[in-house]
Amino acid sequence: MSVKRKRAVTGGKRAGAPSLHGPRNAFEIEVRSCARELALMRPMLLADFSAAALAAALPDPSPRFVDLCLASSNLQERMPADLRDRTRTLVWSFALQLAALDNGVSLVHGDFGKWNLLMRKGAGTWTVAAILDWEFAVSGPPPIDLGHFLRYECASRPLLEPHFSEGFLQAGGSLPEGWRRAARVVDSIALCESLTHDTLPAAVVAELLELVRSTVEDRDPQFS
């Protein structure tokens, strides 16, 4: 289902990179604020839909969904067969972890990235003034938003971490052991779904494929 919910504000800016928005410490404050806002969404549930209920009716909904994506003719034209096989193997290898995540559902934005976060400066610090574009919101496992926000984060050149996870925990969020890897696997499902779309520029296809491939190979994404 879709949920449209925006908080109107006056003034502010989109969340972004430190080179655009000031010194490194100011950027870290922004990242922590984004993480806190995400953590505060965790207790919110949508009454008419639950991923846990879906999981009870249909075992392994996340792996089964990626199977549907991988069977798409659009995706198959774009993704090599060996990468499809490796992606399927990876997601199914996380079936137990994904099932456990489905039992801890809450409000998921579905597109929780810097372009949908409006920041506002007050009392000398930046905070999230509004979260925009709720059309993809569902009731689901929290790692969906974690994986999306950290999609381009590189372990070898960290930018958002550890500030994001620290802010998330400080606001009452919980991160199980291995959460970062699980979040990447969950996000790979969303990447596969994007590859099923009818019209995608070649550059976008190449980027999506590299994000999936880097997740399968458990490495940082590499872009030229």
User: 10 Å Cβ neighbour count for 115?
Assistant: 11
According to the model, what pLDDT value does residue 189 have?
94
Closest CA to 102 of 141, 128, 132: 141
Q: Strand locations in 85-224, DSSP E? A: 106-108, 117-122, 125-131, 138-140
Residues of the chain with pLDDT under 50: 1-14, 16-23, 47-52, 54-57
The pLDDT of residue 148 is: 93
Torsion sign (Cα): 213, 215, 218, 220: positive
Name every residue whose Cβ is closer than 8 Å to that of residue 100 and which is 6 or more positions away in sequence.
Answer: none
The predicted pLDDT at position 14 comes to 45
The whole-number pLDDT of residue 165 equals 93
Question: What integer best gives the mean pLDDT of the chain?
Answer: 81
Whether residue 143 is preceded by a cis peptide bond, meaning omega within 30 degrees of 0, is no
For residue 24, the model assigns a pLDDT of: 54
The reported pLDDT for the residue numbered 49 is 46
Residue 172 has a CB neighbour count (10 Å cut-off) of 11
pLDDT of residue 13: 46
Q: Where are the domains of the chain?
A: 13-216
| pLDDT at residue 222, rounded to an integer | 95
Distance CA(141)–CA(63), nearest Å, equals 14
Fold of 13-216: Aminoglycoside 3'-phosphotransferase; Chain: A, domain 2 (3.90.1200)
Which amino acid is it at 216? V
CA distances from 181 to 66, 91, 94, 173, 203 (A): 17, 11, 10, 17, 26
What pLDDT does 44 receive? 60
Q: How many angstroms separate the CA atoms of 142 and 183, rounded?
A: 9
Helix-helix angle 95-102:61-70, to 10 degrees: 120
